[in-house]
Structure 1
Amino acid sequence: MPELLFPFLGVVALLTVTPGPDMLLVVRNGLSAGSRAAWLTGLGCCLGISIHATAAVLGLSAILAASATAYTVVKLAGAAYLAYLGIRMLISALMSVDGEEDADAGSGTPSIPVATAVTRGDGEGPTAPAVDTRVASHTSAAVFRQGLITNLLNPKIALLFLTLLPQFVAHDEPRLRTTVVLAAIFLCVAVVWWRTFSLAIGPISRVLHGGRARRLLDGLAGSALLAISAVVALDGNR
């Protein structure tokens, strides 16, 4: 194991729980569509982390760090995507009515699985509601994609891996192997955090089941994402 493992774990834990666009999306999707939506959004973020970590190990992040143009392009793309999600949420908050949810999960607002009647085998009528699997799978893909794209289009995460991992490789350790181990540990911490967080947010989401609460949530989350996108776009620091 790396010699500086415990200091590294402390830094990673602090970075993981620090609020940002990823956290906002997980909270919004979790409160709107439940624990599973929060978990899948977090998994999307984790896949983004693994891609950033791989790029850092391979040295690809150095290109982003060295090129002001590449950094700016990725940053503006990320800001545009956050703004897009924010606008979609605000539209959903303004247009939806009680009992209805936006069905277009792929573009910003996850759909809530629709209950459909299941007919008993004797043909005498419906028994219990079942989840429309098409809507559920559409929602799952949408929230996972949101987490992934939001994470991938954040150039500061790429630079974080490029600058953080080498700081915790001791002089007498194999640099490549230790860097890979540290990146894997970072990913494991993120997975554990998002799983724990998604389970914790589940009971709260069951309280916010009304259309009015969801519209308020969409309005707040959409406004916050627009504000974050503006800050990201106007931030000249690298």
Structure 2
Amino acid sequence: MPEVTAFMSGWFGGHLAVAVFIGGVWTVTVLSPGPNLLATLHATARGGARAGVTTAAGIGLGTAIWSGLSLAGLAVLFETVTWAYTAVKLAGAAYLIVIGLKLLLQRNAGAAPLHPAQAAPVPGGLRRAFFFGLAADLANPKAAAFFASLFAVSVPAGAPLAFQAGICALVVVIAAGWYALAALIFARPRVAAAYARARRWIERVTGALFIAAGLRLATDRS
């Protein structure tokens, strides 16, 4: 019994508090609009709720990769080998800019469905949506630095591997859950109908925001 009491005390007095802190900080971060939200809404507009939720799953995998690599010391590697970080950063920025340019320059407005709720599934559509979400998330290597900073001030040294895995699972669930919820809301008939009426302008603004995000990433010196 003393061993059980000590274990419970350790979790609820330490590990649980760390998990709540990380979950809270990450939730606030995820709720802030950014490329991942743009990717989710764009996929939903093109392929419906299923495509949006699948994109959210891809973002979740990207979050798992960045958070896991951060715990493994990727941020330290980026700080040591600066050219590697610069290369990844520029590649991600180029990807975001290309997406933005495609949205701005596309002329076949009729290619999109009337609105997300009426989108018909297409071959490979969900697979493309998944990798679109994954690529959008991996395009920002600053996520590694963010997770490294967050984990450095919260995860105790020598924390059990199971606890670290649980932290990674927590941030993945928060990210994928929020973006999936955003996709489901955006696909609702009223919201989708409003999107359909202003689709051309919304896609132009979305393209401009993707380009702005890419340029900001490329020129960021942190």
TM bin (shorter chain): 0.7 to 0.9
Q: Distance in 2 between matches of 1:177 and 1:209?
A: 44
Q: Which moved more, 1:143-152 or 1:53-62?
A: 53-62
Which residue is 2:124 aligned to? 138
- Residue 198 of structure 1 pairs with residue 187 of structure 2: no
- Residue 227 of structure 1 pairs with residue 212 of structure 2: yes
Mapped contact 1:21–1:150 kept (Cα < 8 A): yes
Q: 1:195/1:209 Cα in 2 relative to 1: closer, same or farther (>3 Å)? A: closer
Which residue is 1:181 aligned to? 166
Counterpart of 1:154 in 2: which secondary structure?
A: coil
1:117-148 superposed Cα distances (whole Å, 9 cap, x missing partner): xxxxxxxxxxxxxx4x5x2x333222222211
Mapped contact 1:26–1:42 kept (Cα < 8 A): yes
Structure 2 runs not aligned, ≥5 long: 1-10
Q: Distance in 2 between matches of 1:191 and 1:79?
A: 22
1:104-128 superposed Cα distances (whole Å, 9 cap, x missing partner): xxxxxxxx8999xxxxxxxxxxxxx
Q: Distance in 2 between matches of 1:113 and 1:45?
A: 22
Counterpart of 1:34 in 2: which secondary structure?
A: helix
Which residue is 1:127 aligned to? none
Aligned length: 206
Which residue is 2:38 aligned to? 24
Which residue is 1:96 aligned to? 108
Which residue is 2:72 aligned to? 58
- Residue 152 of structure 1 pairs with residue 138 of structure 2: yes
1:193-232 superposed Cα distances (whole Å, 9 cap, x missing partner): 122222211115530474x633222211111111221111
Q: TM-score, normalised by structure 1?
A: 0.76
Q: CA deviation at 1:102?
A: 6.3
Q: 1:175/1:88 Cα in 2 relative to 1: closer, same or farther (>3 Å)? A: same
More helix by share: 2
Q: TM-score, normalised by structure 2?
A: 0.80
Compare CA radii of gyration and give the structure with the larger one. 1
1:81-118 superposed Cα distances (whole Å, 9 cap, x missing partner): 001101111122xx114xx2169xxxxxxxx8999xxx
Structure 1 runs not aligned, ≥5 long: 104-111, 116-130
Q: CA deviation at 1:183?
A: 1.4
- Residue 213 of structure 1 pairs with residue 191 of structure 2: no
